[in-house]
Structure 1
C-alpha cells in the first residue's frame, strides 16, 4: 500500500466532506453478538458530546470528489478547479478498520461525488459497507449518503448494511434547485427518501412476526438543506422541513449555512457568509416542532417570514400571543407549560412531578432550574409583579434582552475571575 498516496487522498476527501453536517447521533442499537469489531450505540457520532460528556467521532470522508454535475453551490462541482482524488473500495475498508482498532473512531460516514452515474456511485458505497459487515465483521456505526437518482434495488440493499441513510435535498425549494443545479431533478431526491421510508416500515412490520428479520437502516434517514444560497425565507426552509418530517418520517433535518465559494452571479457575493445565529434559530425552531408540540405555521407564516435574530423562536411566539398568558404554574397542563419561554422539557417534567406534592412558589421554580429572567413574565405562582401586566410586547422584549445581557456579563466576569 502506498501510504503517502493514501494520506494525500485522505487529506483531500476528508476536507471535501466537511460541508456535510448531517452526521450526528445515530440512534442505532446494533449490538455486537458475534465477537466482531465494535458496537453501534445511540449516544452520538462525529465529534458530538453525549449527555455524560463523552466525545465520540467517526471517519467522515468522500469516496471521491469527482462529480458529473455542476451545482453552483458545491465545492466539488465539475467546473471547479480543485485537486481530485478517489478511494478504492478496499482502501476505505482498510482505513475504517485501522482507525477503529487505534480507537480513533467509532464508525464511518461515507458520502461521494457522483461519478459515471448515480447507480454506479451508490453501488460502490454499498460495497464498502457490505465488506465491513460481512468480511470484517464490523458492528460499528455506518452512515451512507444516498445518491439522488439511485435505483430502488440499490436503496434497499444499502439499508441492510447501513445504520442510517441520508439524501441531501440541498436547496429547500424546487425553484432554487432549478436555478443552482439545473442538471438535477427534484424527484430524484424524493424517490430514494420514499423507498427508504417504505422499507423501514416493511422491515419493522416483518420483524414483529419473524425475529430473524434483518435490521434495515435502524437509525432511520436524515437530510440536509443549504441555507442562504438562494433567497428562501426562514418560513420556506421550515415549511420544507415540516414536509420531510411528515412525509418521509425523517429522523433529522440539518441546516448548513452556505459558504460563498465562487463569483457565480446566481450566488451570494464572496464574503457574505450566513450568520451562525441564523442556523441556530432554525435548529431551535426545528426543536420546537419536534418536541414541544408547535405547528410550523404558529412560528412562521405570511406575517412572520423570518425568525427574530434577537430572541429565540419560543419567546418570539409568546410575545406575539400575550393574550394566552400568564398561565398558572400550579394548574396548567403539560402542553401549555411547554410553551412558556424559559421552561424546557426537563423542567416541565420536574414541575409536573413536584406540584403533585405541594403548591410551587418562585423559590421552588428557581431550584428546578427554569430561566426565571424569561419565564417570570409569562406565569403566575404565589405572586406576580403587577406593573409588568401593562407592558407592551416590544417593551417586554427589550427588558428580557437587557436582562439576558446583564446575566451574560455577570457570568463572564465570574468566569474571568477564576483566572
Structure 2
C-alpha cells in the first residue's frame, strides 16, 4: 500500500467533505452480538465538534471528488480547478477499520461526487458498507449519502447496511435548484427519499409480526439545505423543511450557510458568507416545530418572512403575541408552558411535577432553572415579593437585549481576568 498516496487522498477528500453538516449519528442501535468490531447503541456516538459546529467524531470523507455535474454552489463541480482524487473501495474499508482500532473514530460518514452515473456511484458506496458489515463484521455507525437519481433497488440495499441514509436537497426551492444546478431535477432528490420512507415503514410493519426481520436504516434519513445561495427567505426555508418532515419522515433537516467556493454570476459575491447566527436561528426554529408544538406559520409567514437576528424565535413569537401572556405557571397546560421564553421542555416537566405538591413561587422557579432574564416578563407565580411589570413588547425586547449584553460583558471580563 502506498501510504503517502493514501494520505494525500485523505487530505483532499476529507477536506471536500467538510461542507456537509448532516452527520449526526443519533437514533441508531446496532448491538455487537457476534464478537465483531464496534457497537452502535441507542446512546449514539460520542461527538466532538469544531468551533463552527461541525461534527468530527466520524471518519468523514468523499469516495471521490470527481463529478459529472456542474452545480454552481459545489466545490467539486466539474468546472472547478481543484485537485481530484478517488478512493478504491478497499482503501475506505481499511481506513475505517484502522482508524476505529486506534480509537480515532466511532463510525463512517461516506459521501461522494457523482462519477459515470448515479447508480454506478451508489453501487460503490454500498460496496464499502457491505464489506464493512459482512467481511469485517463491523457493527459501528455507518452513514451513507444517497446519490440523487439512484435506483429504488440500490436504495433498498443501502438501507440494509447503513444506519442512516440521507439525500441532500441542496437548494430549498425548485426555482433555486433550476438556477444553480440545471443538470439536476427535483425528482432526482425526492425519488430516493420516497423509497427510503416506504422501506422504513415496510420493515417496521414486518418487524411487528416477525422479530427476525433485518434492520433497515435504523437511524432513519435526513437531508441538508444550503442557505443563502439563492436569496430564499427564512419562510421559504422553513416551509420546505416542514414539507420534508411531513412527507418523507425525516429524522433531521440540516441548514448549511452558503460558503463561497467559486466566482459565478448566479451566486452571491465571494465575500458574502452567510453568518452562523442565521444557521442558529433556523435550527432554533426547527427545534420549536419538532418539540415545542409550534406551527411553522406561527414563526414565519408573509408578515414576518425572516427571523429576527437579535432574539431567538420563541421570544420573537411571544413579543408578537402578548395577548397570551402573562402565563400562570401554577395552572397553565403543558402547551402554554412550553411557549414561555426561557422555559425549555425539561423545565416544563419539572414545573408540572413540582406543582402537584405546592404552588410554585419565584424561588422555586429559580431552582428549577428557567432563564429568568427572559421568562420574568411573561409569567406570574405564587410570590408576594415580585410583581410583573406592565411593559410593551418593544420595552421588553430592549431590556432583554440589554441584560444579555451586560451578562456577556461580565463573562468576557471574568475570562480575561483568569489570564491576567
TM-score tier (shorter): over 0.9
Q: Distance in 2 between matches of 1:251 and 1:46?
A: 19
Cα distance, 1:128 vs structure 2: 0.3
Q: Distance in 2 between matches of 1:367 and 1:43?
A: 28
SS at match of 1:39: coil
Cα distance, 1:407 vs structure 2: 1.9
Q: Which residue of 1 aligns with 2:389?
A: 388
Q: Distance in 2 between matches of 1:297 and 1:381?
A: 30
Q: Does 1:260 align with 2:260?
A: yes
Q: Is the 8 A contact 1:226 1:256 kept in 2?
A: yes
Q: Which residue of 1 aligns with 2:343?
A: 343
Q: Is the 8 A contact 2:109 2:142 kept in 1?
A: yes
Q: Which residue of 2 aligns with 1:12?
A: 12
SS at match of 2:389: helix
Q: Which residue of 1 aligns with 2:329?
A: 329
Q: Distance in 2 between matches of 1:302 and 1:68?
A: 39
Q: Distance in 1 between matches of 2:175 and 2:376?
A: 44
Q: Which residue of 2 aligns with 1:80?
A: 80
Cα distance, 1:413 vs structure 2: 2.8
Q: Which residue of 2 aligns with 1:161?
A: 161
Q: Is the 8 A contact 1:24 1:44 kept in 2?
A: no
Q: Is the 8 A contact 2:377 2:388 kept in 1?
A: no
Q: Which runs of 5+ in 1 are unaligned?
A: 50-54
Cα distance, 1:56 vs structure 2: 7.5
Q: Distance in 2 between matches of 1:387 and 1:328?
A: 11
**1:254-287 CA distance string (max 9 Å, x none):** 0000011222010000111000000000000000
Q: Which residue of 1 aligns with 2:52?
A: none
Q: Is the 8 A contact 1:167 1:222 kept in 2?
A: yes
Q: Distance in 1 between matches of 2:17 and 2:410?
A: 39
Q: Is the 8 A contact 1:46 1:58 kept in 2?
A: no
Q: Which residue of 1 aligns with 2:216?
A: 216
Q: Which residue of 1 aligns with 2:30?
A: 30
Q: Which residue of 2 aligns with 1:184?
A: 184
Q: Distance in 2 between matches of 1:342 and 1:142?
A: 36
Q: Is the 8 A contact 2:380 2:388 kept in 1?
A: no
Q: Which residue of 2 aligns with 1:105?
A: 105
Q: 1:225 to 1:7 in 2, by over 3 A?
A: same
**1:304-341 CA distance string (max 9 Å, x none):** 00000000000000000000000101000111000000
Alignment RMSD: 1.4
Q: Is the 8 A contact 1:31 1:139 kept in 2?
A: yes
Q: Which residue of 2 aligns with 1:52?
A: none
Cα distance, 1:246 vs structure 2: 0.5
Q: Which runs of 5+ in 2 are unaligned?
A: 50-54
Q: Does 1:226 align with 2:234?
A: no
Q: Which residue of 2 aligns with 1:206?
A: 206
Instruction: Choose 392-401 or 166-175, whichever is displaced more.
Output: 392-401
**1:209-258 CA distance string (max 9 Å, x none):** 11111000000000000000001000000000000001001000000000
Q: Give the TM-score normalised by structure 1.
A: 0.96
Instruction: Choose 379-388 or 225-234, whichever is displaced more.
Output: 379-388
Q: Which residue of 2 aligns with 1:124?
A: 124
**1:71-115 CA distance string (max 9 Å, x none):** 000000000000000000000001100111111111000000000
Q: Is the 8 A contact 2:207 2:213 kept in 1?
A: yes
Name the count of aligned residue pairs. Answer: 413
**1:38-94 CA distance string (max 9 Å, x none):** 001244448447xxxxx9711000000000000000000000000000000000001
Moved over 4 A (4+): 383-387
- 1:270-349 pair list within 5 angstroms: 270-349=270-349
Q: Is the 8 A contact 2:149 2:188 kept in 1?
A: yes
Q: Distance in 2 between matches of 1:65 and 1:416?
A: 44
Q: Is the 8 A contact 1:177 1:186 kept in 2?
A: yes
Q: Give the TM-score normalised by structure 2.
A: 0.96
